[in-house]
Amino acid sequence: MTASTLPRVGVVVLTQGKRPDDLRAGLESVLAQEGISADVVVVGNGWNPTGLPDGVRALALPENLGIPAGRNRGVEQVTGEWLFFLDDDARVPSPTFVTDAIALMTQDPTIGLVQPRVVDPSGVTNPRRWVPRIRKGEATHSSNVFSVWEGALVMPRVVFDRTGGWAEPFFYAHEGIELAWRVWDQGLRVWYAGDLVAYHPAIEPTRHDYYYRLNARNRVWLAKRNLPWVIAPLYVGSWTAIQLLRWARNPGALKAWFGGWRAGWREPAGERRRIRWVTVLRMARFGRPPLV
């Protein structure tokens, strides 16, 4: 294969410049990828990326626009029929990671997005939240999924464009659910590939009032932006019950969460693009109706 015939992959790496060693390791893993022609941009969310390896461009955003908007600005800067999103604290150990993900989608065109298995390379126990299934099972087991861990994803650019991009109003939290739903709405499937691996440290995310607020607000916005009105209250209601059970002994968390819940109903959520009823039925047939 000549350089002109290799798959062209636009790579978007998002960073605030707080993890320079991890960023460099991630970029090295991108530049080590074989069998692709990569167009790599590092998006500095409120930071001007400097000291980047040769062949990597920087996009400095004057302020932190949030994770979804930062990724969208990166997509605008890269070319290629494929997109690879990588967080600045993630890396891929295999030099054929991207080509393996592309092969999955090329061999089975019903797959529109691939998320790998996430592993802490130090050997500590990996968080179960990295497996985006209700019934987690073995992390090595591959399956259809209806949400994604956003730190390492590969998908066709045309599929991404049809989703409308990452949900910019969210700032952070749950944007991977909306992206997955909108891939399913194209008649495609979202695939968790247990045989592909991305490295990421198993650090418990900080839980603060802002986290709880956005978690709740964005859950309501998911429904307002994407679900038929008949089932939107059922989706929000099921998650409200879950949070009441989960944080019954943490009144501070519940107070912040319900503050976000109220804001979700009162504040505009951005563009509404309702998924089709046939998509709701397909998701239910594959095991996850958009109710829980």
Dihedral sign computed on CA atoms, order 192, 195, 199, 200: positive
Which amino acid is it at 76? E
- Give the 3-state secondary structure of residue 265: helix
* Residue 73 pLDDT > 90: yes
What is the per-residue pLDDT across 10-69, written as a single tens digit (0 to 9) for each? 999 999 999 999 999 999 999 999 999 999 999 999 999 999 999 999 999 999 999 999
Superfamily classification of domain 8-199: Spore Coat Polysaccharide Biosynthesis Protein SpsA; Chain A (3.90.550.10)
* pLDDT for 2: 55
The structure's pTM equals 0.94
Enumerate the domain spans of the chain.
8-199, 209-274
* Residue 208 pLDDT > 80: no
* Residue 1 pLDDT > 60: no
Q: What φ, ψ does residue 249 adopt, rounded to 5°? A: -100, 15
Mean pLDDT calculated for residue range 57-84: 97
Strand runs labelled E in the chain: 8-15, 37-45, 56-61, 82-87, 111-119, 143-144, 152-156, 189-199
* Residue 243 pLDDT > 70: yes
* pLDDT for 4: 66
pLDDT band at 206 (very low <50, low <70, confident <90, very high): low
Question: Which of 67-71, 96-100, 122-126, 166-170 is least confident?
Answer: 122-126
Do residues 73 and 43 touch, judged by C-beta distance below 8 A?
A: yes
What is the per-residue pLDDT across 128-159, written as a single tens digit (0 to 9) for each? 888 988 888 899 999 999 999 999 999 999 99
